[in-house]
């Protein structure tokens, strides 16, 4: 188990199946499932806020949120001051979100990518480090 990285994960009904696939894929990490626990219709903020709070409070290193478009969970998570949630639909975006923006929550659009691509995006997001330097000045200006 990789003890240096811990992951808070949550999804609405549209992301439920991807969430379960990713939890299994990420078994080398400490992962906490914040729900939902079925395909029954739910409201994405009910899962995005707890994941964002857990990352913001440093209970987990990063978060992963999944909904149909990823827009709803990203908008919700980004209401938290310490969160930089990024919608990523390919590996390059995941890499840039981490290396340039120090993103701490990955938002995945389940209706627009495959589970295999979601796994690749997660791997890239988790393994990419923030570059700091000129990017740190920019990141430090994000919070209000």
Does residue 87 lie in a domain region? Answer: yes
Does residue 100 lie in a domain region? Answer: yes
pLDDT for the residue 132? 83
> How confident is the prediction for the chain on average, in pLDDT?
96
- Paired tokens of 98: 């981490």
Beta bridge partner(s), residue 108: 66
pLDDT for the residue 1? 53
- Give the C-alpha separation, 41 to 47, whole Å: 12
Query: What is the phi/psi pair of residue 70, to 5°?
Result: 75, -10
Residue from 4, 13, 49, 100 carrying the catalytic annotation: 100
CB neighbour list of residue 59: distance below 8 Å, 6 or more residues apart:
6, 8
Q: Is the pLDDT of residue 2 over 70?
A: no
Does the predicted TM-score (pTM) go above 0.85?
Answer: yes
CB 125 within 8 A of CB 103: yes
Domain hosting 71: range is: 2-139
- The H helix count followed by the E strand count for the chain is 6, 5
pLDDT for the residue 143? 82
Catalytic (active site) residue 100: yes
Where residue 80 sits, what CATH number does that domain have?
A: 3.40.1400.10
- Give the C-alpha separation, 137 to 94, whole Å: 20
Q: Is the pLDDT of residue 76 over 70?
A: yes
Q: What is the pLDDT of residues 31-70, one digit of tens each?
A: 999 999 999 999 999 999 999 999 999 999 999 999 999 9
pLDDT for the residue 142? 87
Does residue 62 lie in a domain region? Answer: yes
Does residue 144 lie in a domain region? Answer: no
Q: Is the pLDDT of residue 116 over 70?
A: yes
């Amino acid at each position: 188990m990789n003890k240096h990285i811990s992951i808070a994960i949550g999804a609405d009904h549209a992301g439920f199946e991807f969430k379960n696939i990713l939890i299994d894929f990420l078994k080398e990490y400490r992962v906490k499932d914040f729900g939902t626990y079925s395909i029954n219709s739910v409201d994405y903020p009910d899962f995005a806020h707890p994941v964002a709070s857990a990352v913001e409070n440093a209970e987990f290193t990063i978060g992963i949120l999944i909904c149909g478009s990823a827009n709803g969970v990203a908008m919700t998570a980004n209401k938290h001051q310490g969160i930089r949630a990024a919608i990523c639909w390919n590996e390059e975006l995941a890499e840039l979100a981490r290396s340039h923006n120090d993103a701490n929550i990955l938002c995945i659009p389940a209706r627009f990518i495959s589970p295999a691509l979601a796994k690749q995006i997660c791997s890239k997001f988790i393994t990419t480090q923030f570059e700091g330097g000129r990017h740190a000045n920019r990141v430090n200006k994000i919070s209000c």
